Amino acid sequence: MKDKFRAILNSYSEIFFIRGSIPGLILLVISFINYNCAIAGLIAVLSAYFFAIFIGYKDEFLSSGFFTYNALLVGFSIGQLFQLNPVSLIFLITASLLTFIVTIVLSHIFNLYFRLQILSLPFVIVSSFVYLAAGRFSNLYVTSMHATPVQQSLAFLPDWANGFFQSVGAIVFMPNTISGILIMVMILFSSRILFLLAFMGFAVGGLINGIFIGSIPQAMTDLNSFNYILIAMGLGGIFLIPSFQSYIIAMFGVAISTILISSVNVFWAQYGIPVFTLPFTMVTLSFVYVLGLVNYQKIPLIFKSTPEETLDHFLTSQNRFPKETITVNLPFFGNWTVWQGFDGKWTHQGIWKYGYDFVISNETNLTFTGDGTRLEQYLCFKKDVLSPVQGRVVKVVNYLPDNPIGTVDTVNNWGNMILIYDSRGVYVELSHFSQNSITVKEGDWLEPGTHIGLCGNSGYSPQPHIHMQVQLYEPMGSATFPYTFVHFASGNSYQAHGTPKEGSVVHNLSTIPFYDQLSTFVLDESFTYTVTKKGTEIGELKLKVKMAPDSTIYLESNLGKLYVGKKNGTFYSYHIEGRDPILRYILLAMPSFPLHYRPHLEWTDSIPSATLFTGWKKALVSLINAFYPKLSASSGSYKFSSETEIIGTVINKLFNEKNTSYVKLDPLARIEVVKWNDIEIRRKQP
């Protein structure tokens, strides 16, 4: 029952784009300022929830409140119009069930065809139907009309302030100043970004509407201004990553909505239907769809509890994972030197700028021994070349001779080459193989690391080297496409991904089965840990391995979830849901590690500042992130101190804070010990 109650409360908080049962409980209490609306809304959301359970939907599916908050809004709208009695109660329950059905149908259609959320569209549709249908149900008007409380203002506040708070209250059909103030206090404690955006949207929308109608004071008291508030919060902080750009886009959306609100009001008024949230829904969905078409980079893939947490997760992930969609392995074993990289000074120019050339150099940075006049003197000549991707060979040239040093083939620029069609929809080309050294043929299927030939000096090549590029089309000479290398080292520095600089020495790393095994979690596997602080036991942590709907593995405790996984040879602790402080320590101490070991191998990782801090520091960091994220960034440095031990340091320059961590891994115990400063989390023996 606790989970069911929490799901109902989440329906309330979803109205204001906030996740969590506490904000939902606050809104439930506030709603009783208009008790008739409050009871109607509660009955509606309960009816929708238990109807969903009855027809087979699981508690996990309904837990977020996303699929029931539209029914809640419909309940509010009916409670505003009709007094609750047996007749209106049947009407209310029927409408709430209809809302749930419409929500499921539209959610599926919008996600399948447009990759969009439905927002409050089901509420707008069903409430409009309700108001139209009620006109034909004479018994409702005879027995059930409800006297809506008059808008209540506070005399000591200016008109614009009363107008703002009444507009906020109108979102949940309580257009009075007291309700609006209480809701805004709840929003302030939940999200400072949404709080500021609400004021910005109201001010910009009211100002523009006032200019259009010739009276700014009148525009500031228009209750339909709640659409400005919702648009500003939706576009500025929820459906786009909060940033200066999203705030400007949100204000453009608010400006456009002034026309929609006026036109919809004129049309809907003929049928006695309020504007509801139709302008907000139309503007927000249209903007998100259009931005998606142009591949706008700041549309969140994961929605956290608040815009601050979503922003923090986005900023951290930007550095943790490649920006390019195409990732490749290095095409060789051992240490090689980057001779020419992207936009190189010789041949990697124009549409061919996304290419890499690799050679082998010695301690004195020479690529050859002796006088360098013979091919055999070059350190990379006839060294193994490996497939950097998974795919099928579509073209092979293998017969061209290797050029003597000092000459190039100006006719056959690519020389002996292999073209691989990658299943991600691109072609990967490797060039300048030694004559008759290619060991695969057209049609062969390749896995990363498959031996495909020997490095040579054929084609337009002044010395033996490997050339590699990614292109969108099959013909040789097609424009190149950006990509990034994964799972490699430069000296003792491990790179989960990157584009190494010219002159740097890089080493391809393999995934060692030992680390692959200890980072593999089995579903329903359980772990129990003892938590101590300065040697004194302070609690116990129980974790169970579960899988999310998108197949991501997570470790669940009573208070939260830690999502983990492996990607391109690196183990990651992705992010946390919930408020479990012990899971925070595990993520901070072990945000990632390579599935490969070399003595003293070290790496860095971006640390989510909102996870690192609590209390006022977390609030301040979250606010700074919204305007100047570099100022509050946190970073971690980690290294292997032995084959099974990782030590780390996490630094935040804003607060001049330094933290230390220690992790001990075990193939059977998985995570055996985690230390974060003076906190130790040690697994109990099963």
Q: What percent of the chain has pLDDT over 90?
A: 73
Q: Where residue 272 falls among pLDDT bands split at 50, 70, 90?
A: confident
Query: Looking at residue 504, what is its pLDDT?
Result: 95
Query: What pLDDT, in 10s, does the model give residues 292-335?
Result: 999 898 999 888 888 998 999 898 888 888 877 799 999 999 99
Give the end-to-end CA distance of the chain in Å, rounded to a whole number. 32
Alpha-carbon gap, residue 402 to 4, rounded angstroms: 72
Residue 246 CA to residue 227 CA, distance in Å, equals: 17
Are 646 and 600 spatial neighbours (Cβ–Cβ below 8 Å)? no
The DSSP letter of residue 350 is G
pLDDT at 507 over 90: yes
Rounded Cα distance between 384 and 381, Å, is: 9
Q: What tokens does 630 get? A: 């570099």
pLDDT attached to residue 143 = 55
Confidence band, pLDDT 50/70/90 cuts, at residue 353: very high
The answer to whether the beta carbons of residues 592 and 577 sit under 8 Å apart is no
pLDDT the model gives residue 144: 54
Annotate 367-410 with DSSP letters as a single string: SBSTTS-SGGGBTTTT-EEE--SSEEEEEEE--PPPPPTT---S
Q: List domains and CATH numbers for the chain.
A: 1-149 (1.10.3430.10), 155-299 (1.10.3430.10), 327-482 (2.70.70.10), 514-683 (2.40.360)
φ, ψ of residue 288 in degrees (nearest 5): -65, -40
CA pair distance 317, 311, nearest whole angstrom: 10
63-103 pLDDT tens trace: 888 899 999 999 999 988 888 888 889 999 999 999 999 99
